[in-house]
Structure 1
Amino acid sequence: MNRETSRDLYDRALSVMPGGVNSSVRAVQPYPTFVRRGDGAHVIDVDGNRYIDYVMGYGPLLLGHDLPQPVEAAIQRAASEGPMYGAPTEVEVDLAEFVVRHVPSVEMIRFVNSGTEATVSAVRLARGYTGRDKIVVMRGGYHGAQESTLVEGDAEHPTPSTSGVPAAFARETIPVPFNDEEAAREVFERHGEEIAAVLVEPILGNTGITMPVDGYHGTLRDLCDEYGSLLIFDEVITGFRVGGLECAQGTFGVTPDLTTFGKIVGGGFPVGAIGGRAEIVEHFSPAGDVFQSGTFSGHPVTMAAGLETLKYAAAHDVYDHVNALGERLREGLVDVVADHAPEYTVVGTDSLFKVVFTRASTPAQDQACTAGCAQDPDCARYEQCPKTGGDVRRAETERWERLFRPFMAERGIMLTANQFECQFVSYAHTEEDVEETLEAYEAYFE
């Protein structure tokens, strides 16, 4: 596969951008693939190579790269009427009403411009509403590039996970292991009166699609109720991907106080949102005393793209299609792994999937979950499947990134940059795409 133009572009980029990229996850070895355009479920790079795309913009492209006519028309109409106004428009009200109508926890919503901005604003809102400072987060969870959550360590020794974050900021964040109910109870017993909120992804989407064990989110809900803290679900990845229009909270049957969104809510354009109980969200300025604002918030093109994407998904059985393909893909991967790499784990749900190169202590694949790890206690592999972000980080990440991903790219399969990120099926993918993908996986493991 000729990739000379990508290599030359990366050479140029290194002279004018740090690391040659504008987002660190794109800096894959030996150099990234520069994309020229999308085509349905495929991308074509600058050298003319064609790939089945499972990155899908890291999630927002639910419909694929070729937008249905109603969605494309709405985007073009909004763009042709003017780039932006710095004033309210009808379409942002329409999109707000759609989200409120379908997501269980959302009575009121504030649109922003990214998932990071959404979680930053949600943390500020929780602190302002409760009058408390501390935030509980999951080790291995990801909530964007914000100071309150770029924290590692344990509950008693939190430290910044990157240069540039003051240690004083990290002291207000309490990291706990995902799926560890006892650890959550202990931090509330020690710090409950200081905790403004628990911020958690319903499914850890940046550490191998780690599913919650049964009852875990219910325990967090009970602890927050007992101590007067807020439960915040970060559904930037899972929102309108897992659980359809009700999102992951509908699937798990737990209603958070606040929910953060991104990705699909903007139909592929930059977006974020914070939704929740009206009595809480109304504390945002100008109605309340928690300042939040943004010149590009509620951008008319983004709002039009998000609204028409969600309306199209609701009217055309999009979720049935993507979830069925996702299940078929995961089932096939379970078979491949069982035959060739029984220590590895297939993860995912709905239209999300991944193979985590875990180092299981037993190779048994008998009676494994048939379509990806569901944290089923009756599964023979229950003890070996990842429960925390640390479990995924102990996987064979170098093998995945340096050998497996380049092999798949040579076979025309575009996967996410590393072992940790979700991979996504879109409405544009077909059964033929799935079969070609499974053949490529089989070829790697043979």
Structure 2
Amino acid sequence: MDENSRALYDRALSVAPGGVNSSVRAIHPYPFFVERGDGAHVIDADGNRYLDCVMGYGPLLLGHDLPERVQSAIQREAAAGPMYGAPTEREVELAEFVTRHVPSVEMLRFVNSGTEATVSAVRLARAATGREKIVVMQGGYHGAQESTLVAGEGHHTTPSSPGIPESFAEHTITVPFNDAEYARGVFENHGSEIAAVLTEPMLGNTGIVHPVDGYHETLRELCDTYGSLLIFDEVITGFRVGGLQCAQGALGVDPDLTTFGKIVGGGFPVGAIGGRTELIEQFTPSGEVFQSGTFSGHPVTMAAGLETLRYVADEDVYEQVNALGQEVREGLTDVVADRAPEYTVVGRDSMFKLIFTRDGATDERHCTAGCRQDEDCSRFEHCPKDGADVGRADTERWERLFWPAMKAQGVFLTPNQFESQFLSAAHTEADVETLLDAYREAL
């Protein structure tokens, strides 16, 4: 059962706030503690085995059992020494790989987390433009940073967490994702004050909301017209959606700056800020925008990220995992058509999620492998367009009833309605069938 996990959680409550080191892990009534990974599965402290669709919240594109060449690269780097406080060849090679494949990235600065990447990108945008206001999407998430932890609409925003001065929120404007006219109105009123628009290409922390046709092109046009920067947060989508060109390549829109994390570090702590040379060179020491970090460009992380991406490129991993993602979303479409026709299947490539939409249309679905915001689809008006739409879904039912039902069948999902689910190269056709059977039973 789960006696060991319960005992570990009891101990953790005495030494960690809420018994966890990331609030999203605070599963009710308590989380299971993982002992080890095995391919597409995790085994907890009580020996229970779960099909893993969390994959570390996205970084584990290859699954838990890394290919021998990736393991060897990591072990060689770790054996040579933990870290040096000096540059290594691996960080140069990884930066060269990224700049070679991501269309908008000419230069890169590595940091240690997605949060650190977005913090640094916002600082750089403000310095490069001489402006202070940042536009973000309502319901979007860009890490635990003061400039984007806001609530409210438009320029009427307040901090969404205690401990953040009101003055931070005063410089942050929120707009609904996929509402081009709202964005135009914000720029008409505040364009000369806006340093940057910061958005995920798809809302990956809010149920996977796909952009409507032309939305990012509108943001690109507005930024060009008003002299603002367009920042794509590809911490989640980077090297998972759109292959080696990332989501921006798939969408055909080039941002000025891009933030990375997760996969680019091969499962180790990482972040990065990429973009045009004239922008990235404004970071110290070549410029005056301060940015530094003891563990930035950590050699083990760089080796893991580099060899992971090389392996992915050599072995056609995207073809494999994206095909599995297609199968999952098509299968889920069939399941909900029978069991819960008002629900919405979302996702792209190796990402997927089922949104418990309350008022979705119940007729036949035009998008059979995840909502694409297709205006010709009969469900178009009912599919979530922004974070608020996802927030109005039956989130309590998802968390309190559905998640435990899936866990009881041996399937590990992200523990709320908002976070994406992920597949990896370790998942198999049999795993897809197991997953879909569990959905049928739970729904």
Query: Under a length normalisation based on structure 1, what TM-score does the superposition of the two structures give?
Result: 0.99
Q: Which moved more, 1:366-375 or 1:194-203?
A: 366-375
Counterpart Cα distance in 1 of 2:312 and 2:414: 24
Whether 1:100 aligns to 2:110 is no
Query: Could you tell me which residue of structure 2 aligns to residue 419 of structure 1?
Result: 417
Query: Could you tell me which residue of structure 2 aligns to residue 17 of structure 1?
Result: 16
Whichever residue aligns with residue 129 of structure 1, its letter is A
What stretches of structure 1 of length at least 5 have no aligned partner? none
Whether 1:368 aligns to 2:375 is no
Computed over aligned residues only, the root mean square deviation of the Cα atoms, in angstroms, reads 0.6
Counterpart Cα distance in 1 of 2:77 and 2:7: 36
Whichever residue aligns with residue 209 of structure 2, its letter is T
Output one character per residue of 1:145-183: Cα deviation in whole Å (capped at 9) or x when no partner: 000000110113111011111101100000110000011
Counterpart Cα distance in 2 of 1:148 and 1:249: 23
Output one character per residue of 1:321-368: Cα deviation in whole Å (capped at 9) or x when no partner: 00000000000000000001001000000000000001125322x133
Output one character per residue of 1:1-55: Cα deviation in whole Å (capped at 9) or x when no partner: x011111111111111100000000001010010000000000000000011000
Query: Could you tell me which residue of structure 1 aligns to residue 245 of structure 2?
Result: 246
Counterpart Cα distance in 1 of 2:115 and 2:244: 22
Query: Could you tell me which residue of structure 2 aligns to residue 173 of structure 1?
Result: 172
Output one character per residue of 1:380-406: Cα deviation in whole Å (capped at 9) or x when no partner: 110110001000000010110111011
Query: Could you tell me which residue of structure 2 aligns to residue 380 of structure 1?
Result: 378
Query: Could you tell me which residue of structure 2 aligns to residue 264 of structure 1?
Result: 263
Query: Could you tell me which residue of structure 1 aligns to residue 442 of structure 2?
Result: 444
Aligned partner (choices 356, 378, 391) of residue 393 of structure 1: 391
Whichever residue aligns with residue 16 of structure 1, its letter is V
Query: Could you tell me which residue of structure 2 aligns to residue 48 of structure 1?
Result: 47
Counterpart Cα distance in 1 of 2:29 and 2:40: 25
Query: Could you tell me which residue of structure 1 aligns to residue 136 of structure 2?
Result: 137
Counterpart Cα distance in 2 of 1:361 and 1:238: 26
* 1:33-432 correspondence to structure 2 within 5 Å: 33-364=32-363, 366-432=364-430
Preserved contact between residue 344 and residue 360 of structure 2 (Cα < 8 Å): no
Secondary structure of 2:74 counterpart: helix
Output one character per residue of 1:122-158: Cα deviation in whole Å (capped at 9) or x when no partner: 0000001110000000001100000000011011311
Counterpart Cα distance in 1 of 2:417 and 2:7: 26
Secondary structure of 2:175 counterpart: strand
Preserved contact between residue 41 and residue 51 of structure 2 (Cα < 8 Å): yes
Whichever residue aligns with residue 441 of structure 2, its letter is A
Whichever residue aligns with residue 153 of structure 2, its letter is D
Secondary structure of 2:35 counterpart: strand
> How many residues are paired up?
443
Counterpart Cα distance in 2 of 1:204 and 1:133: 24
Counterpart Cα distance in 2 of 1:90 and 1:264: 19
What stretches of structure 2 of length at least 5 have no aligned partner? none
Counterpart Cα distance in 2 of 1:433 and 1:361: 28
Query: Under a length normalisation based on structure 2, what TM-score does the superposition of the two structures give?
Result: 0.99
Counterpart Cα distance in 1 of 2:373 and 2:158: 30
Whichever residue aligns with residue 385 of structure 1, its letter is C
Counterpart Cα distance in 1 of 2:46 and 2:408: 13
